[in-house]
Chains A and B, each alone.
Chain A
């Protein structure tokens, strides 16, 4: 038997699996003959688990035990905006796990997000196995281009739990471009517009025969087809409450029915100009009467409801085009990906924006999985037929004194790449520094995603400024981050694969794996650590003596042009201490004493998340 590796598009709403047998990729349909499978997991009363389209029907009669759109939560902290939003709209229970992670509680059991994703991956794998007639252990799995390192790592963990070797994590739009351009010997620039259930991604690529070079990628992880449905839900619920004085949103069953109706209205509008929305017996009034929803919705009214959402996608496109240094007429192709791009409303808007017809020969539901399958086949074959040169979607940053985060690798920098920066300590005779790594576009540390942190000690103790700490940041082709600190004087080294603080620890993964394969129902995780303050979460006991790093100044800093950027050559730092920032005349009193500096930034009024649970998680 020849080696096979599959491609899996693990979507927020739907997943798809494909394989290359012979020359071209083919989608492997599920038992119902459908190419896409709902990313829904239903936990049955008898402890069984149903995954896929069969599970979707459960959303209405068993909303508390049916998990959908869980990808919105993967790799997130419990206190994040996205999780708050999901808690408001999801009818299953989302609870806080250890280290501010997210867990989904079903009856008396708590599941981590990688475990939920693993159940979906396991389903896709078994679809492939039953179509292929033999076991499959290797896959290329796709993620939204805009996923940060936490989300990518969590997806990798999901693969491990599902017993799949993830050959690569590939960005969805890049996979789509590969499926579009593979083997055609093209030399052209294309844009991939991917609007899914919960996320929007745009990537601009240059295809040079067998090389697929991403020029830029931008995205919005808060924008997708579900938001379109929310607009219709709002409309129906508001009208209903005005008419009957009953709030449909407070009843989980009614809310799920509204969601289903809103979604099918949207799908209807991709084929017709007007649809009829009917939800008989949506709820029972206090007097025992059953009430219904009935309404017609036309395309013009619908356009009015969702227009701003569509415009938001183009703001993101503007950014991507600008970062790629292109104008729309430079593009030879526009590829549409994702269910909502079936809406004529969106196709037309895309055509107007890009000044060209989007490609009609690409299936928006299947193209990502096909690209993943092509890459999987290429990786296991002896000669590589396509090269994916991707970029990092978010700037990589390091926390420095004052609650700030300094850029180390800018967004849209090609990967794989590494970068070494030299820092010094904040105080005289400091024994240890805490290295915090973030991803995001804000200079305020707290407004970025914290990827992880570690303490580094063992460097020579000296006056601040005399200590040099070299920190090397590495991003691999999967977009996964690795950070190493080193004292060039002593050669002492500390390294960490940045551990996702909100995800699973290695021990937890081992424990899950030891319990057996993921398609068996996972027993409950150990109860969440009963700590609310998070000092215990850290790998060091002595927080007080671990102030932030202060950035070391590159040589030649003094004659840097006003406000202008200037490159410092990386090696050969001139330790010109005059440039290291102000002396702190009363260093001892001002020394951070148990107060975390980045947590301090959390308390500014400008930060709406200041009162988020755990936002000052290390104080």
Chain B
């Protein structure tokens, strides 16, 4: 059943939101997992789901929606063993933020982007570095050649391609 909130209560909760950890937000003891975690999420959703709070005035509805999004985030981190471990560790250290990135791949993605930038094969990297040096020397023809060579090793490297087409545009 939907509970109606006193506006003051909602506003207070919204102010606290960044200080509450995920467990506190779900009103579940630390370590809650499995079915108990799901039940805590369901209980919190019954209170904060935007559908259940349609009648609030727009400002308060915005507040409830913010809380609802955080509830969902808490659940989606805690139900995933890997993310949960990371979160619990951070929480155990006692300081720092109460939220966790939903996508852990930020580091990996950065690495991949870097690979793409510099090349992921030794030859690709070498020719790309050569192209960079060629450009620094103002040797456009050399740079074009080096980039083409780099691309023969990594034909799908979007970064190499972009650089090559830019260089061609410039020389045109």
- On whether the beta carbons of A416 and B45 are closer than 8 Å, the reply is no
- Which listed residue, A418, A568, A570, A593, touches B107 by the CB 8 Å rule? A568
- On whether the beta carbons of B72 and A414 are closer than 8 Å, the reply is yes
Give, as a whole number of angstroms, the nearest-CB distance from A575 to chain B.
Answer: 14
Residues from 49 to 80 in B contacting A, C-beta threshold 8 Å: 49-52, 54-55, 65, 68-69, 72-73, 75-76
Chain B count of residues within 8 A CB distance of the other chain: 63
Which B residues touch A384, using CB under 8 A? Answer: 1-2, 46, 49, 51-52
B126, CB-defined interface residue at 8 Å: no
Which A residues touch B102, using CB under 8 A? Answer: 408-410, 413, 417, 419
With A417-B73, A581-B117, A590-B163 as known contacts, state yes or no: A569 contacts B96, CB within 8 Å. Answer: yes
- On whether the beta carbons of A579 and B38 are closer than 8 Å, the reply is no
Which B residues touch A421, using CB under 8 A? Answer: 101, 106
Chain A count of residues within 8 A CB distance of the other chain: 72
- On whether the beta carbons of B166 and A595 are closer than 8 Å, the reply is yes
With A413-B102, A414-B75, A566-B104 as known contacts, state yes or no: A553 contacts B110, CB within 8 Å. Answer: yes
- On whether the beta carbons of A476 and B65 are closer than 8 Å, the reply is yes
Give, as a whole number of angstroms, the nearest-CB distance from A80 to chain B.
Answer: 21
Chain A facing B: main interface SS = loop
Which B residues touch A593, using CB under 8 A? Answer: 166, 169-170
Selecting from B5-13, B21-29, B154-162, the interface stretch reads: B154-162
Residues from 445 to 486 in A contacting B, C-beta threshold 8 Å: 474, 476-477
- On whether the beta carbons of A417 and B76 are closer than 8 Å, the reply is yes
With A416-B68, A595-B162, A600-B162 as known contacts, state yes or no: A387 contacts B45, CB within 8 Å. Answer: yes
Residues from 67 to 119 in B contacting A, C-beta threshold 8 Å: 68-69, 72-73, 75-76, 82-83, 86-87, 90, 96-97, 99-114, 116-118
With A416-B68, A589-B135 as known contacts, state yes or no: A554 contacts B49, CB within 8 Å. Answer: no
Could you list 10 further interchain pairs (A-B, Cβ under 8 angstroms) beyond the known A594-B169, A595-B165?
A: A168-B51, A210-B46, A213-B42, A379-B51, A382-B55, A401-B159, A477-B49, A567-B86, A586-B135, A604-B158
Could you list some 23 contacts between A and B, CB below 8 A?
A213-B42, A379-B51, A384-B51, A387-B42, A389-B42, A389-B49, A402-B158, A403-B158, A403-B159, A404-B116, A406-B106, A407-B103, A413-B102, A416-B72, A417-B76, A474-B69, A551-B109, A553-B107, A554-B107, A568-B107, A569-B101, A595-B169, A600-B165
Mark A residues whose CB is within 8 Å of B. 168, 206, 208, 210-211, 213, 378-379, 382-384, 387-389, 400-404, 406-410, 413-419, 421, 443-444, 474, 476-477, 550-551, 553-554, 556-557, 560, 563-572, 579, 581-582, 585-586, 589-590, 592-595, 597, 600-601, 603-606
